[in-house]
Structure 1
Amino acid sequence: MTVAIVLLAVAVVLIVALLAAVGAGMLARIDGATWPTALTRAAGAFTAVLALAAAVTTALSPFRT
């Protein structure tokens, strides 16, 4: 059961990261950025969400049972 929870958490984090990346890319394109710039901003948002999830996981790891 624990493996299922971990896989579900990973899937949720990846979906949130993808949604943030798509949103950042769309906002960049709407703002008039070129495609390479929009992709760079999307990649930055994706990386930021993954880094935030890793930081939260690291911060909460001492509290696991």
Structure 2
Amino acid sequence: MMCSPVFIFVPANPGEHHFRDLRPRQRPFVYWESAVTVAVTLLAIALVIVVALLAAAGAGKLARMDGATYPTALTRAAVAFAAVITLAATAASVFATLLT
């Protein structure tokens, strides 16, 4: 005994009707995308501040190890902090110009 052949017809886009049904129910991700942008921006700012503080602490420590007075070491640390912040702001403005 032999079975008759079975033909399976598959539509051209088998999942299209499922996605079409879901479209009206989807929520816009505008608020989510803006929240992610704000979060990434705040994290980047925090990272830059931490790196600037570490650079300032290193510059102050090296100045003290070199024999500088406390006011001189504090001045060198402040200059290093300002230099890192200025460099980060310049890099951010260049990236913003390139991406827009």
TM-score between the two structures when normalised by the length of structure 2: 0.63
Distance 1:62 1:16 in 2: 24
Show CA shifts across 1:6-65 (max 9, x none): 000000000000000000000000000000000000000000000000000111112336
The answer to whether residue 94 in structure 2 is matched with residue 52 in structure 1 is no
Distance 1:62 1:42 in 2: 30
Which aligned pairs between 1:32-43 and structure 2 lie closer than 5 A?
A: 32-43=67-78
Figure out how many residues of one structure are paired with residues of the other and give that number. 65
Structure 2: state its 5+ residue gaps.
1-35
Q: Which runs of 4+ in 1 moved over 3 A?
A: none
Choose which of 5, 9, 20 in structure 1 pairs with 2:55: 20
Distance 2:78 2:56 in 1: 6
Q: Highest relative contact order (Cα 8 Å, sep 6+), 1 or 2?
A: 1
Larger of the two Rg values belongs to structure: 2
Identity of aligned residues (%): 62
